[in-house]
């Protein structure tokens, strides 16, 4: 089921990743370590990643993504962390339950079925994901991920 809604902007600090999207966890590890060392980590922080390239069109070794953790109010990250923002616009949100390796089918349905029939248009912005539980203490079949597809807002943006 898709939920189309206005998604509030989330301020993040993150680490860029190049290569297989399935390896973005490495960037999360670095980002978390840096956030903790800078006193920015907290139990309620959100874990999001943005995927810049279409894995069907770009060779795996050249894929660009970024792992990000939400900043506390007023938090200012220091290098190697880079600040960025996700959300702040209307998105189609699809909740995926299951192993990360099975998400390709969810994306194929989202773009190939739902988007085509929805009457909505994808914005020229990358898709992003929010990881709602921790793969270190959650069985793969119970992992929850929200996939956010930014949409054109009616003014062409």
Q: Give domain limits for the chain.
A: 2-150
Q: What is the pLDDT of residues 93-109, one digit of tens each?
A: 999 999 999 999 999 99
CATH superfamily of 2-150: Regulatory factor, effector binding domain (3.20.80.10)
* pTM for the full predicted model: 0.94
Say whether pLDDT at 156 is over 60: no
**Tokens 């999207």, located at residue:** 21
The pLDDT of 142-150, averaged and rounded, is 98
pLDDT band at 56 (very low <50, low <70, confident <90, very high): confident
Can you say how many angstroms the Cα of residue 87 is from the centroid of all Cα atoms in its chain?
A: 10
Q: Are 111 and 49 in contact (CB under 8 A)?
A: no
Q: What is the pLDDT of residue 1?
A: 87
Distant-in-sequence, close-in-space partners of 77: CB < 8 Å, separation ≥ 6: 13, 34, 35, 38, 40, 71, 83
Confidence of residue 45 (pLDDT cuts 50, 70, 90): very high
Mean pLDDT over each residue of the chain, to the nearest integer: 95
Q: What is the pLDDT of residue 154?
A: 64
Please determine, for residue 74, whether its predicted confidence score (pLDDT) is greater than 60.
Answer: yes
Q: Can you give the pLDDT at residue 153?
A: 81
Mean pLDDT on 73-78 = 96
Read off the pLDDT of each residue in 27-33 and give the average, rounded to a whole number.
98
């Amino acid at each position: 089921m898709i939920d189309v809604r206005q998604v509030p902007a989330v301020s993040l600090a993150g680490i860029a990743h190049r290569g297989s999207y399935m390896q973005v966890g490495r960037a999360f590890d670095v980002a978390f370590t840096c956030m903790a060392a800078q006193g920015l980590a907290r139990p309620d922080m959100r874990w999001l990643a943005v995927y810049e390239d279409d894995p069907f069109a770009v060779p795996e070794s050249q894929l660009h993504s970024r792992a990000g953790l939400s900043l506390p109010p007023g938090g200012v990250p220091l290098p190697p962390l880079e600040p960025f923002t996700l959300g702040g616009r209307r998105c189609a949100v699809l909740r995926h339950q299951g192993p990360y390796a099975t998400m390709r089918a969810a994306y194929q349905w989202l773009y190939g079925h739902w988007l085509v029939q929805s009457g909505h248009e994808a914005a020229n912005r990358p898709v992003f994901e929010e990881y709602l539980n921790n793969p270190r203490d959650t069985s793969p079949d119970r992992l929850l991920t929200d996939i956010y597809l930014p949409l054109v807002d009616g003014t062409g943006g």
